């Protein structure tokens, strides 16, 4: 597995070794020992999967401490533009976002540590999106940021007139008004 660092410390892109032949392909999508050896000691305890159509934007979501979640995400079918926003107060990249294209073809995975809001837009006709989380969903801690906050300058890769957004996500606060309780730790 190749670890690709992003401009925001803690956010990592993981490129697995893929073995292909005339039968198809095989790759190891998760191995706790290999992740630990690469400096990602996260133990994932919950898997989620979603299927969405073209133009769907899900996010930007997070859970407050002490229920925050690390996520390992990938696309099983289709293509998405995946985004994480640094919500760690005191971080040199606080309020900055980073996005990357994840697809069934490139098989990249995106590691998002605690303290980040997360979302994605579907660029293909449909997409099946897989999440591994290190803590359980806790509804009372569920929070988010308005996906189209001008201060974040996120280009979701789809025309805004085609965006399909849930009623809940349409009324999320702007970044400046969102409730956050994450602290940046330079030692992590």
Dihedral sign (CA 168, 174, 176, 182): positive
DSSP 8-state symbol, 39: T
Burial environment of residue 6 by CB neighbours within 10 A (0 to 12, 13 to 18, 19 or more): middle
- Closest to 64 in 3D by CA, of 131, 126, 141: 141
Give the C-alpha separation, 89 to 96, whole Å.
Answer: 12
Residue 27 lies in a domain: no
Give the C-alpha separation, 169 to 149, whole Å.
Answer: 12
Residue 147 lies in a domain: yes
Per-residue pLDDT tens digits of the chain, which is 188 residues long: 899 999 999 999 999 899 999 999 998 888 888 888 888 877 899 999 999 999 999 999 999 999 999 999 999 999 999 999 999 999 999 999 999 999 999 999 999 999 999 999 999 999 999 999 999 999 999 999 999 999 999 999 999 889 999 999 999 999 999 999 999 987 76
pLDDT tens, position by position, 39-66: 887 789 999 999 999 999 999 999 999 9
Residue 32 lies in a domain: no
Residue 22 lies in a domain: no
- CATH code at position 169: 2.60.120.10
**Which residues are known to be catalytic?**
61, 131
- 8 Å CB contact between 184 and 89: yes
Residue 13 lies in a domain: yes
How many CA within 13 A on the CB side of residue 83?
A: 26
pLDDT tens, position by position, 109-136: 999 999 999 999 999 999 999 999 999 9
Parallel, antiparallel or unpaired: strands 142-144 and 56-63 = antiparallel
Phi-psi label, residue 144: left if phi above 0, alpha if psi -120 to 50, beta otherwise: beta
- Total count of domains within the chain: 1
Residue 24 lies in a domain: no
Q: 51 is in which domain, residue-wise?
A: 2-17+41-181
**% of the chain surpassing 70 pLDDT:** 99
- Closest to 134 in 3D by CA, of 13, 10, 40: 40
- Closest to 113 in 3D by CA, of 179, 62, 154, 74: 62
């Amino acid at each position: 597995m190749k670890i690709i660092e992003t401009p925001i410390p803690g956010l990592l892109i993981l490129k697995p070794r893929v073995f292909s032949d005339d039968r198809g392909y095989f790759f190891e999508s998760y191995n706790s020992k290999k992740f630990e050896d690469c400096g990602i000691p996260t133990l994932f305890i919950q898997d989620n999967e979603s299927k969405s159509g073209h133009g769907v934007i899900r996010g930007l979501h997070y859970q407050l401490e002490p229920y925050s979640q690390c996520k390992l995400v990938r696309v099983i079918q289709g293509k998405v533009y995946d985004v994480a926003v640094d919500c760690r107060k005191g971080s040199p990249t606080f309020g900055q976002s980073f996005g990357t294209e994840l697809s069934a073809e490139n098989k990249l995975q995106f590691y998002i540590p605690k303290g980040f809001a997360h979302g994605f837009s579907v660029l293909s006709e449909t997409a099946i999106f897989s999440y591994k989380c290190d803590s359980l969903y806790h509804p009372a801690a569920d929070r988010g940021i308005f996906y189209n906050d001008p201060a974040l300058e996120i280009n979701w890769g789809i025309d805004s007139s085609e965006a399909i957004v849930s009623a809940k996500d349409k009324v999320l606060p702007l970044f400046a008004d969102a409730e956050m309780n994450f602290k940046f730790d330079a030692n992590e």
